[in-house]
Amino acid sequence: MLLEALVVGPLQVNCFIIVCEVTRLALVVDPGDDVERILAALATLKVKVVAVVNTHGHFDHVGGNRRLVEATGAELLLHEADLPILRRARDHAAGYGLVSAGSPEPTRFLQDGELLPVGELKIQVIATPGHSPGGIALYVGGHLFAGDTLFADSVGRTDLPGSNHAALVSSIRTKLFTLPDDTVVHPGHGPDSTIGHEKRHNPFVGIGVL
């Protein structure tokens, strides 16, 4: 697996390109903005994008969906519970004084536990409701793409419409903290961490609970 990370948009979203080295097929996670930079990275990597995945529907993570899907012909994938949020992304952005292109409808919906094939990679979808009703994480090859569920020494906001703090903590403890301690956590914003570090030090989920 090859991995390319770009920080995009005014809210500094981590966008990831996950590549199967054998087939040169790729998945783009959370193309929030700066699509020209994403396309340039794809061209440099010489890969074909088969799918664009949104870890959740908030505007800062989906703002580049339309242009990227149109440019690549890739599928757009999302958990169904976040479809209402995706559809309101433009209005949500306007509430922050920002402009979003809005997003096309997803090609299909992701299911908890499904294995998403990208070439020879099998990427596990993990439902992590809390920050949003349909938040997901992706797990492959010892790497966790956590969206806005889990950050380095922090967690996603739960003061937004549709968010739920108890559900977020449960998602982290029962879904993410069961992964190996050396799993690298790639959050939706900010620096990487590991599952082991977060289990020991994250003050928002109960230090040393596992």
Residue 119 predicted with pLDDT over 60: yes
- The DSSP symbol for 157 reads -
Q: Quote the crossing angle between the two packed helices 65-72 and 35-45, to the nearest 10°.
A: 30
Residues 142-158 have pLDDT tens digits of 999 999 999 999 999 99
Q: pLDDT (tens digit, 9 = 90+) per residue, 134-192?
A: 999 999 999 999 999 999 999 999 999 999 999 999 999 999 999 999 999 999 999 99
pLDDT surpasses 80 at 210: no
Q: Which two tokens stand for residue 189?
A: 């914003």
Mean pLDDT for 53-80 is: 98
CA gap 108, 151 in Å, rounded: 27
Q: What is the pLDDT of residues 14-47, one digit of tens each?
A: 999 999 999 999 999 999 999 999 999 999 999 9
The arithmetic mean of pLDDT across residues 118-124, rounded, is 98
pTM exceeding 0.85: yes
Residue with tokens 């596992």: 210
CATH of domain 2-201: 3.60.15.10
